[in-house]
Structure 1
Amino acid sequence: MLLILLGVLVLHLIILILLIVSTAASAWSVGGERTTDLWYNCMTNNGGYHCKPASNEDWIQAVQALMILSVLFCFFSLIAFVYQLFRLVKGGRFFFTAIFQILASVFVMCGAIIYTVMSPDDWRVEFGYAYILAWVAFPLSLISGLIYIVLRKKE
């Protein structure tokens, strides 16, 4: 049982790291001399690197909010798991933790879908590693949430 709990905890920490990196990293879309993330648009000109804030469009602000919410809910889920690990009665399930983790999964999925649909259609631009990390974090956090639903506390 201890090994299962340790595995679930490690998986949860990996998901949290993936979400933090995908939210903060500057490579949601890359192409040529340009990189774009949720916060800045950067270009290289004459050997220099110039960044300006991301646009004020509603869709990018929605993606920013959803990614921040996914990080927060994943973190709150981790705190709830540790709390329930010590306070939950024997045989109880980690429903509260599961709900927070599944919500984190839904938020990251919605943010990535909005970014996919609304990002500019430029044939020279490709999705970067931060975008891919967000999509990797989605199924992992969903699986983690489902594991928390099945998981029971034993002595």
Structure 2
Amino acid sequence: MLLILLGVLILHLIVLILLIVSTAASAWSVNGEWSKELWYNCQTNSKGYHCGPSSNEDWIQAVQALMILSLLFCFFSLIAFVYQLFKLVKGGRFFFTAIFQILASLFVMCAAIIYTVRPENDSNAQFGYAYVLAWVAFPLCLISGLIYIVLRKKE
């Protein structure tokens, strides 16, 4: 039982790290000369590397909000798991933790979908590693939430 709990905790921490990196990283969309992220647009030219704030369009603000919500819900899910690990009655299930984790997965999925269908001006742009990490975090977060639903506390 201890190995299962340790495995679930490690999976949860991996998901949290993936969400932090994908939210803070600077490569959601890349081209040879520039990169776009949720917070800044950076460009390389003859004078060096320059960054400016991202656009104020509604779709990017929705992606920003959803990624922050996914981070918060994943973190609160981790706190709820640790709390329930010590306070939950024998035989109880981790429903509260599972709900938070599944909501986090839905938020990151919605953010990635909105970013996928965004209006794009440059046809040479490619999705960057932060975008891929967000899509990798989604199924891992969902699997983690489903494991919490099945998991029972035993003594």
TM-score category, normalised to shorter length: over 0.9
Summarize deviations over 1:110-147 as a string: whole Å, max 9, x none: 00000000141522110000000000000000000000
The answer for the alignment partner of 1:10 in structure 2 is 10
| TM-score, length of structure 2 as denominator length | 0.98
Cα distance in 1, alignment partners of residues 27 and 131 from structure 2: 7
The answer for the alignment partner of 1:86 in structure 2 is 86
Cα RMSD of the aligned pairs, angstroms, is 0.8
Structure-2 change in CA distance of 1:9 and 1:119 (3 Å): farther
Secondary structure in 1 matching 2:140: helix
Gaps of 5+ in 1: none
| TM-score, length of structure 1 as denominator length | 0.98
The answer for the alignment partner of 1:131 in structure 2 is 131
Structure-2 change in CA distance of 1:74 and 1:6 (3 Å): same
Summarize deviations over 1:55-110 as a string: whole Å, max 9, x none: 00010000000000000000000000000000000000000000000000000000
One-letter code aligned to 2:30? V
One-letter code aligned to 2:97? T
Percent identity (aligned) = 83
The answer for the alignment partner of 1:60 in structure 2 is 60
The answer for the alignment partner of 2:144 in structure 1 is 144
Cα distance in 2, alignment partners of residues 134 and 119 from structure 1: 19
One-letter code aligned to 2:152? R
The answer for the alignment partner of 2:49 in structure 1 is 49
Q: CA deviation at 1:52?
A: 0.7
Q: Which has the higher mean CA deviation after the structures are superposed, 120-129 or 31-40?
A: 120-129
Q: CA deviation at 1:45?
A: 1.1
Cα distance in 2, alignment partners of residues 84 and 50 from structure 1: 47
Gaps of 5+ in 2: none
Cα distance in 2, alignment partners of residues 29 and 55 from structure 1: 14
Secondary structure in 2 matching 1:118: coil
Cα distance in 1, alignment partners of residues 49 and 55 from structure 2: 18
Structure-2 change in CA distance of 1:141 and 1:115 (3 Å): same
Secondary structure in 2 matching 1:142: helix
Give aligned pairs, total. 155
* Structure 1 consecutive aligned stretches of length 4 or more whose deviation exceeds 6 Å: none
Cα distance in 1, alignment partners of residues 136 and 45 from structure 2: 33
The answer for the alignment partner of 2:38 in structure 1 is 38
